Structure 1
Amino acid sequence: MSQRAEDIARERYALVMENFRGGTATVTDLNTARSESDTAIQNYISDLSNFWIYYYNLRKYTLYDFMLERDLEVVPEELTM
């Protein structure tokens, strides 16, 4: 969902930039669109990061590899690290 929000924010910024160049948008409109685009990008990166953190925590807690659909092997020596 956040990726779609990022795409929409980028498209909106491009549209506002085009309108600004054509004289139908203000600098404030342009700055607002840029700020919203930057926020959408930051949210997408944060959500993506959280997804992988949660995924690998789930793998660790279940000892299961969901992508390969198999149990993970535990090496006891690695547990103390």
Structure 2
Amino acid sequence: MKLIPTAILIHVPDVPVGLAWYQRAFPQAIAEYLPEFDFTLLHVGDFTIEIVQADEKVREGKRGTVLYWQTESLDAAMKH
């Protein structure tokens, strides 16, 4: 069974500032804005960084960060 991290959702207090920071950290990243969801993705190879606005429901920092995983078999991953 393989578990592969594929994306991370990061809440930031200021999206343009956060986006600029991550673009400097990963200069090879390709930015993609999704207007229907109002957030920006940074594609870093096969990995995606999703940058969204922090709010009262979900604050910035590690509490608002979500890591998404890919697996070949959800059943096997759940048993693991």
What TM-score comes out, normalization by structure 1 length? 0.22
What TM-score comes out, normalization by structure 2 length? 0.22
Q: Which has the higher strand share?
A: 2
Q: Which has the larger radius of gyration?
A: 1
Q: Which has the higher helix share?
A: 1
